[in-house]
Amino acid sequence: MATVEYKGHSFEVDEDGFLQKFEDWNLEWVDYVKDSEGIKELTPEHNKVIEFLQDYYKKNGIAPMVRILSKVTGFKLKHIYELFPSGPGKGACKMAGLPKPTGCV
Amino acid sequence: MAFISSGYNPDKPMEGRITDIGPRHYEEFYPAVIKKNKGQWDYHEIVKPGVLKHAALSGDVVYTVRVGGARLMSVTHVREICEIADKHCGGHLRFTTRNNVEFMVETEEALNGLIADLESRKFAGGSYKFPIGGTGACVSNIVHTQGYVHCHTPATDASGPVKAVMDEMFEYFQSMTLPAMVRISLACCLNMCGAVHCSDIGIVGIHRKPPIVEHDRLDNICEIPLAISACPTGAIKPTKVEIDGKKVNSVAVNASRCMYCGNCYTMCPAMPLASGEGDGIVLMVGGKVSNRISMPKFSKVVVAYIPNEPPRWPTLTKMIKHIVEVYAKDANKYERLGEWAERIGWEKFFELCDLEFSHHCIDDFRDPAYYTWRQSTQFKFTKHIEA
């Protein structure tokens, strides 16, 4: 497993750039990931999605279904893609520090 | 090799981005005769194994030559297919839903030239590049999956066994002597990508050992509730384990409830279960998808375990050949393998095919299992019972 050094923090990541440990997450991680995810400027809308994903993960131990993400944040899937061009899984979950999505993806 | 840009700008990933354009429209690639006579076909006939003739109301005819494809193929091979199409077919060709390749020509003269060309092409190792066949009551190509070539959950290989089985079945690919078509499919795990659950003969990779739980990293890389709900038998529960004096969340697998499906590994990378000597193959028979005469059927497990024997899987290929031979001898015309087995009774199927019946074949999954048992006094005595 590779280790990323960024602004004095080190993050353990896998080959797809997902955090290996949720506890390693901090704001520097979001800043580090945003470039590779095609995001220029972090807006409050980005933060709203990231915060909700983290809350949901802490509470339930899983990432929310896309419909739940849409319903709670009020953002349609199209808008989520505008915020995170790689989509809610590869983009938003990676930035929020959640584990890599699994299954037949 | 040096980096060569396609024009994509990683600093502005959304600039000039084209999306949602879908596939090309199929009409763009029609041969002229197909385009002209679309929806106006009168009848067709199978001229000989691998060669079809379609006649249109306008009087036009089109000959189709079907050749076997390995499915997994190099660009070099695709270019050779294109070269043949350029030479004989005006640059047109198509792939079938069983991954065979079809070349179409309009005259008998062109047909003979095409066939002679196709038959002359071989790989350096000696195997046919474009064997002609796969029509009528035959064994056409094997629908198969990724195996050890690309997937992370297989219990067997795909390309290897398919080559071994098709070598054994080759005479049936190039002839039309069976009572009806025999569809063979292979899936390398119980996900059953492809058509094994509805094929005359289905080859499926299985495990025989429960997953190994990597407690040290499970909670970090898995969503535990997903792993628990992935289990069809409820064998997984959440638990806490101590690692280096620290309590971490993990899961516990009840080995006596686990039937090694591997669904939990699909959801959770910290629960691997592949094993060299444990993994192997299940043989299923009797499925079909068409509505002809009888309704579509699922295939049923008849051999619970065949070991993996790379590179030629001799036990597997021998067993399949034997089943096809017995079916070819005993079934009526138009009768698919599943229809034949149901007509003579499964106990007779096992007897005729010399298959050992084990308790593994008896369904024990939830309420529907009951409906697969025999609630009747109607059966035939077989050598299985005498023994």
Residue A101 lies in a domain: no
Supply the CATH number for residue B231's domain.
Answer: 3.30.70.20
Number of domains in chain B: 3
Q: Which residue has the tokens 């005006």?
A: B90
Question: Dihedral, CA atoms, B205, B209, B215, B220, nearest 10 degrees?
Answer: 10
Confidence of residue B151 (pLDDT cuts 50, 70, 90): very high
pLDDT in tens, B256-265: 999 999 999 9
Residue in A57, A85, A99 nearest the CB of B221? A99
Contacts of B267 in chain A (CB under 8 A): 102-103
pLDDT at B1 over 80: no
Q: How many CB atoms lie within 10 A of CB A101?
A: 18
Q: B320 and B224 in one domain?
A: no
d(CA B14, CA A85): 8
Average pLDDT over residues B309-316: 97
Say whether residue A21 is in contact with chain B using an 8 A CB cutoff: yes
Q: B281 and B178 in one domain?
A: yes
Residue A21 lies in a domain: yes
Residue B227 lies in a domain: yes
Asked if B106 and B175 touch (Cβ cutoff 8 Å), the reply is no
Say whether residue A99 is in contact with chain B using an 8 A CB cutoff: yes
Residue in A20, A60, A102 nearest the CB of B267? A102
pLDDT in tens, B295-305: 999 999 999 99
C-beta atoms of B266 and A85 within 8 A: no
Supply the CATH number for residue B40's domain.
Answer: 3.30.70.3340
Residues whose CB falls within 8 Å of the CB of residue A94, separated by 6 or more in sequence, listed in order: A16, A17, A18, A19, A33, A37, A86, A100
Please report, rounded to a whole number, the percentage of residues in chain B having pLDDT higher than 70.
99
Residue B146 lies in a domain: yes
Q: B351 and B262 in one domain?
A: no
C-beta atoms of A85 and B14 within 8 A: yes
Chain B residue closest in CA terms to A85? B14
Average pLDDT over residues B76-100: 98
Q: Model-level pTM?
A: 0.94
pLDDT at B187 over 60: yes
Residue A105 lies in a domain: no
Q: B110 and B30 in one domain?
A: yes
Interface test with B, best of A102, A104, A105 (most B CBs within 10 A): A102
Q: Which residue has the tokens 């999956």?
A: B145
Q: B93 and B228 in one domain?
A: no
Q: B174 and B155 in one domain?
A: yes
Chain B residue closest in CA terms to A23? B220
Q: B84 and B155 in one domain?
A: no
Interface test with B, best of A20, A21, A22, A62 (most B CBs within 10 A): A62
Helix (H) and strand (E) counts for chain B? 11, 11
Say whether residue A63 is in contact with chain B using an 8 A CB cutoff: yes
C-beta atoms of B226 and A102 within 8 A: yes
Over chain B, what is the mean pLDDT?
96
Q: Which domain holds residue A77?
A: 2-96
pLDDT in tens, A19-66: 999 999 999 999 999 988 989 899 999 999 999 999 999 999 999 999
Q: Which domain holds residue B156?
A: 139-208+276-372
Residue A60 to chain B, least CA–CA distance (Å): 8
The pair of three-digit structure tokens given for residue B387, joined into one six-digit string? 């023994």
- Interface predicted TM-score of the whole assembly (ipTM), two decimals: 0.93
Residue B130 lies in a domain: no
d(CA A90, CA A18): 9
C-beta atoms of B226 and A100 within 8 A: no
Q: B158 and B31 in one domain?
A: no
Confidence of residue B195 (pLDDT cuts 50, 70, 90): very high
pLDDT at A1: 73
Residue in A60, A85, A99 nearest the CB of B220? A99
Q: B50 and B116 in one domain?
A: yes
Residue A9 to chain B, least CA–CA distance (Å): 19
Residue B244 to chain A, least CA–CA distance (Å): 17
Contacts of A62 in chain B (CB under 8 A): 223-226
Residue A102 lies in a domain: no
C-beta atoms of A85 and B13 within 8 A: yes
Question: What single-letter DSSP state applies at residue B332?
Answer: P
The single residue of A1, A3, A23, A104 carrying the catalytic annotation is: A104
CA neighbor of B62 nearest in space, from B25, B28, B92: B92
* Interface A-B: count of C-beta contacts within 8 A: 36
Residue B132 lies in a domain: no
Confidence of residue B204 (pLDDT cuts 50, 70, 90): very high
To the query of whether residue A104 is one of the catalytic residues in this protein, the response is yes
Chain B residue closest in CA terms to A18? B221
Residue A80 to chain B, least CA–CA distance (Å): 15
Please report, rounded to a whole number, the percentage of residues in chain B having pLDDT higher than 90.
97
Q: B184 and B47 in one domain?
A: no
pLDDT in tens, A73-98: 999 999 999 999 999 999 999 999 99
Alpha helix (H) residue ranges in chain B = 32-37, 75-88, 108-119, 159-173, 215-221, 224-229, 263-267, 314-330, 337-344, 346-352, 383-386
Residue B303 lies in a domain: yes
pLDDT at B333: 97
Q: B192 and B232 in one domain?
A: no
Interface test with A, best of B151, B193, B223 (most A CBs within 10 A): B223
pLDDT at B296: 98
Number of domains in chain A: 1
Residue B383 lies in a domain: no
Burial class of residue B303 in the structure, from the number of CB atoms within 10 Å of its CB (0-12 exposed, 13-18 middle, 19+ buried):
buried
Contacts of B191 in chain A (CB under 8 A): 104
Supply the CATH number for residue A31's domain.
Answer: 1.10.10.370
Residue A104 lies in a domain: no
pLDDT at B383: 87
Q: B69 and B160 in one domain?
A: no
Residue in B220, B221, B225 nearest the CB of A62? B225
Supply the CATH number for residue B150's domain.
Answer: 3.30.413.10
